[in-house]
Amino acid sequence: MKTVTALEFDAITKKGIVLVDFSAEWCGPCKMIAPVLEQLSKELADKVKIITVDVDVEQELAQRYNVMSIPTLLLFKDGSVIGQVVGFQSKAMLEKFIQRAYVN
């Protein structure tokens, strides 16, 4: 999973389906969800791009998307946010969450 900067963010999220994990190194639930996201990024590589934004480094991005708690996961489709979940999520729940992009 790639950690992206504000400079890369818009270019990456403007096309296709992208799941963005807003997190921080010190965040316990973020550390718990990271292996799940890593696994999904491999299993669903042909369907969704999964990236991470470090909220301590990219505070403006976190503010732009009103990230108040972490981990916050935003699902983008062609540049628009189509879903959001906050906190640790199971692999099954995240798979269902990602599927929303294919229904809209």
Residues acting as catalytic residues: 27, 30
Of 6, 84, 76, 22, the C-alpha closest to 54 is 22
State which amino acid sits at residue 50: I
Which residues, listed in sequence order, are joined to residue 74 by a DSSP beta bridge? Answer: 20, 84
